[in-house]
Amino acid sequence: MNELIQTNLENMHSEDRQMQYQAFMFLLQVTDQPLDWAYETWDGLLADLAHKDNHVRAIAAQLLCNLAKSDPQKRMLKDFGRLLAMTRDPRFVTARHTLQALWKVGSAGTEQQAVWLSGMEQRFTECISEKNCTLIRYDILQSLRNVYDVVKDEGIRSKALQLIETEDNLKYRKKYTGLWRAR
The per-residue DSSP string of 62-86 comes to HHHHHHGGG-TT-THHHHHHHHHHH
Long-range CB contacts (< 8 A, 24+ apart) of 24-29? Answer: 24/59, 24/62, 27/59, 27/63, 28/62, 28/63, 28/66
- Which parts of the chain sit beneath pLDDT 70? 182-183
Quick check: 55 and 20 in contact, CB under 8 A?
A: yes
Is the overall model pTM greater than 0.85, yes or no? yes
- What per-residue confidence (pLDDT) applies to 160? 97
Whole-Å CA distances, 77 to 11, 42, 72, 95, 115: 28, 13, 11, 20, 7
CA dihedral for 66, 54, 79, 128, sign (positive or negative): negative
Q: What class, spelled out in words, does domain 3-178 have in CATH?
A: mainly alpha
Structure confidence at residue 181 (pLDDT)? 83
Going from N- to C-terminal start, the domains of the chain cover 3-178
pLDDT of residue 182: 67
User: Contact 127/99 with Cβ under 8 angstroms?
Assistant: no
Contact 137, 127 (CB under 8 A): yes
